A and B are shown apart, each in its own frame.
Chain A
Amino acid sequence: MGIELLRKRLNQSSEAIPLAIFRIVFGGIMVISQVRFLSKGWIEDLFLYPSFHFSYTGFSWIQVLPEFWMYGLLILSLFSALGIAFGLWYRLATISFFLSFTYLELIDKAWYLNHYYFVSLVAFLLIFVPANRMWSLDSLRSREGWNPFVPFWTIAILRFQLCVVYFFAGIAKLKYDWLILAEPMKTWLSARTDFPILGELFDEAWMAHAFSWGGAIYDVSIPIFLLWSKSRPYAYIAVIGFHLMTWLLFPIGMFPWIMIGGSLIFLEAQDWRKLLHYVRLPLPARPRPMLPSNSIASWKLLLISCYVSIQLCLPLRHHLYPGDVLWNEKGLRFAWHVMVMEKNGMATYYLKDLESAKEWTIYPSEYLIPAQERQMSFQPDMIHQFADHLRQLWRADGYEHLEIRVENRVCINKQCKTLEWIEDGTP
């Protein structure tokens, strides 16, 4: 009975306004993001210049393309984002944006960012969501004009995705370092005493605690307040305030804007009507409700359930591995561990040919660009991957029996250790 109710609710007609606004805003932010990427010369710096890339397991076939095609890929994603924003050839635009953006993201682990992953997920969902039913060039071109209704699941799945980001980002902060030591917030704030007005207080311990606890409480609770109609307007103001603050304080690129824009999906059509009424902008009158819809098709429900289950399980998978996820980083990616640590490292590789007893000391900066080296130096799987790369290089020179020892100095939130890795990367 409960399942049947859920099936009906998911397929119930909902006003398409939130979805249309989400599409426009998301597409617009992605256009800005890709223009920014282009203007900073990151295709050159991050993809073309490095001679080695840290590929993802199972995705080593994703390689850097020749310069022309790399720029082509970025420009394709840019125009696809424009297509999404304007709702033009929407299905094609969402597919090409998802593929081009995700291809760029999967080239090198060193460039993994939680918000890039979030963008890929949203782009993937948009492929299946009819966000072009209104306020789109597609709907203007079609004979039927725009359709003000969409099935509720199409909005719910995007809200779910936002909730997953916030909730798991909050859960990841419920740690001794974050709550009791107020780290890394203490480190970050004390480095920003230049910040106007509040900066003077950033050296105070209570301020770091207030920010830490405030951040954790915000992340865990904001989905509830955004979903609850009475608190929604205040919650959205909090979203703006919170993310603007993070934008001003930390170098986190487009993340704040993506979350501010993305959270608009929580606003209902009537919220928009009220809001636009204040600024005297017209919004279409509430359409006549459609007839009660049928239950969602079983295959659709199954696919949605699979997606939801994966999204709920992936961030928890690190519990399956022994040890502290912040140190071993097993299951850290794709799990919304957003800004939970200040981590630095340095890895020095000692190679020994067991046949000739020749020894080499390899300082990774001679092979990697600084940003790659920085990321590699504290991420164990990348340290191991780079050792494999060195082994291949040496093998090509005829050294088959190579022992590789890595000395790895790592600090997390002011706690430092020197680790030693031998051969297979086990500390």
Chain B
Amino acid sequence: MIYMKFPFPKPSIALFGIAIGLLIWSISCNSGTDPEIPTEFDRAVMLQNIGENGLLPVHVDFMEKSKTLHTASRTFVQQASQASLEEVQQAWLACKKSFKRCEVYNINEVREVFIHNKIDKWPTKVQFLENNLQGIDELTEAFVENSGSTSKGLPAIEYFLFAEDALASFSTDSLASRRLTYLVALTENLQNRANELHQMWENNLAEFSTNTENFSKGSLNQLVNSQCAVLEKILTDKLGDPLGRDTGGDPQPDKVEAYLSQVSIDLIQENLISLKASFLGDDSKPGLGDLLDFLEAKQDDQLLSSIIIAQMDACIAQAALVPSPLQETVLTQPEVVDDLYERVLDLTGSIKVDMANQLGILITFKDTDGD
């Protein structure tokens, strides 16, 4: 009679009992945790650490460096000399390096308004710059602001500052005066964008720190995606193209990032250093590595965090071994650059695949469905 009322036979009840037993066993199998690993992990604290100690300081620094660059360019305009040119070149270099540390934070609102493109979209369109120079438009900050991303920002300033006959072009050339005006307008615009970028992060830092959700708009999801984007840019544009990896092995030295200033490899190094900072934040506080440790993320019995940090260090060290300028090294010692490429590739795999898998990160900035 019981069978009439309840549609399940006795064996299924027994199976259910076995299942419950298995469940308890499986949980108990997994309950042995490392005593050094904390039992709780606050992702908001981690994001706050990365935000306050990784993200915000680099944007403050970039803002200051852009101000210094603008000041230096104005000084140069008043007295164009080799010394003042070198001063403004150094200010540009410091500014460019500083921005390389910001690139890993191209996320959320910052990404949506394409402000990074307005600051550093390369290669610059030389023809546009020359046309503007030779044109009749008043070369003001407003003019620059209305120009496209490929004719302003750091690469455009580099084009004028690091030209072969830069000092002459600013002093004796028939367009010298206009070129000086353009330079100041470009640096002023850059300073404004740097201020805007900094302000954006001042406004959004709290949201960054508290947005612990794991959907595409979540801070962690965005950050890991941006880390991958920086690494992929190094692989494809900054190293791959100059090495000739997409041309059948014919090097393309003119494809390096900062061809005129010849600091390409330094910039890659800055990218890698900032990548590490975005992983660790302040090392004494919880960072991404600590989150991986908390999740007991391992590969081949080694902590994944240690593997990634070691790979980052190896990349930074290898970048230091690549002689500058990169455009010459890809011709004379391509094997050294190849080594760096392979190390960056390994690091990309560890972040994009291993770490993303451990954290349940969706490798895309955009909203998508799954099932």
Contacts and interface: CB of A to CB of B under 8 A. Distances in A.
Contacts of B363: 344, 370, 374
Interface stretch (B282-290, B314-322, B346-354): B346-354
A363 B360 contact: no
A213 interface: yes
B249 A192 contact: no
Given A365-B236, A366-B236, A188 B354 contact: no
Given A205-B27, A371-B364, A346 B370 contact: no
Interface string A390-427: 00000000000000000001111110101000000000
A191 interface: yes
A191 B359 contact: yes
Contact of A179 (B26, B212, B345): B26
B115 interface: no
Contacts of B29: 180
Contacts of B295: 187, 190
B360 A188 contact: yes
Contact of B370 (A182, A250, A361): A250
A40 B357 CA distance: 26
Nearest to B362: A251
Contact of B353 (A180, A203, A209, A416): A416
Contacts of A413: 357
A311 B356 CA distance: 34
B367 interface: yes
Contacts of B206: none
A192 B211 CA distance: 11
Contacts of A409: 349, 353-354
Interface string A332-363: 00000011001111101000010010111111
B245 A251 contact: no
A205 B30 contact: yes
Nearest to A40: B367
B23 A252 contact: no
A353 B366 CA distance: 36
Nearest to B356: A344
B212 to A, nearest CB: 4
A362 B241 CA distance: 11
Given A115-B371, A194-B43, A213-B19, A358 B249 contact: yes
Contact of B371 (A191, A252, A345): A252
A115 B29 CA distance: 35
A75 B367 CA distance: 22
Contacts of B356: 344, 411
Interface residues of A: mostly helix, strand, loop or mixed? Answer: mixed
B240 A363 contact: yes
Interface string A172-186: 000000011110100
A180 B26 contact: yes
Contacts of B247: 360
B369 A358 contact: no
A349 to B, nearest CB: 11
B349 A209 contact: no
B369 A370 contact: no
B365 interface: yes
B308 interface: no
A342 B360 contact: yes
B9 interface: no
Contact of B364 (A115, A179, A370): A370
B213 A192 contact: yes
A209 B22 CA distance: 11
A414 B248 contact: no
Interface in A249-307: 250-255
B134 interface: no
A348 B368 contact: no
A114 interface: yes
Contacts of A342: 357, 360
A45 interface: yes
Given A359-B248, A365-B232, A410 B30 contact: no
A253 B236 contact: no
A409 B348 CA distance: 10
B301 interface: no
Interface in B291-349: 295, 297, 299, 345, 348-349
Interface string B128-160: 000000000000000000000000000000000
A363 B235 contact: yes
Interface of A: 40, 45, 113-115, 179-182, 184, 187-188, 190-194, 203, 205-206, 209, 213, 217, 224, 228, 250-255, 338-339, 342-346, 348, 353, 356, 358-363, 365-366, 370-371, 374, 409-414, 416, 418
13 contacts: A40-B367, A179-B22, A180-B22, A188-B360, A203-B41, A344-B356, A359-B248, A359-B249, A360-B249, A361-B246, A362-B246, A363-B236, A411-B356
Given A179-B22, A209-B26, A411-B357, 6 more contacts: A40-B367, A187-B358, A191-B361, A194-B213, A252-B370, A366-B246
